[in-house]
Structure 1
Amino acid sequence: MGYFWSHYSKEAHLGLAQMYVNDSRFKEYYDKLGVGCADFLRDALAVFCQ
Structure 2
Amino acid sequence: MTLHWVKYSEEAHAGLAQMYGDDERFTAYYDAVRPGATAFLREAILIYTGKP
Q: Same fold (TM over 0.5)?
A: yes
**1:5-50 C-alpha deviation (Å, 9 max, x unpaired):** 0212111000001111100111100001111100100000011112
Q: Normalising by structure 1, report the TM-score.
A: 0.88
Q: Normalising by structure 2, report the TM-score.
A: 0.86
**Aligned residue number for residue 5 of structure 2:** 5
- Give the Cα–Cα distance (whole angstroms) in 2 for the partners of residues 18 and 28 of structure 1: 15
Question: Percent identity, aligned pairs only?
Answer: 48
After superposing on structure 2, the runs of 4+ consecutive aligned residues of structure 1 that deviate more than 3 Å are none
**Aligned residue number for residue 46 of structure 1:** 46
Consecutive unaligned residues of structure 2, counting only runs of 5 or more, are none
| Corresponding pairs, count | 50
Cα offset for 1:2? 1.5
Which letter maps to 1:41?
L
- Give the Cα–Cα distance (whole angstroms) in 2 for the partners of residues 2 and 26 of structure 1: 20
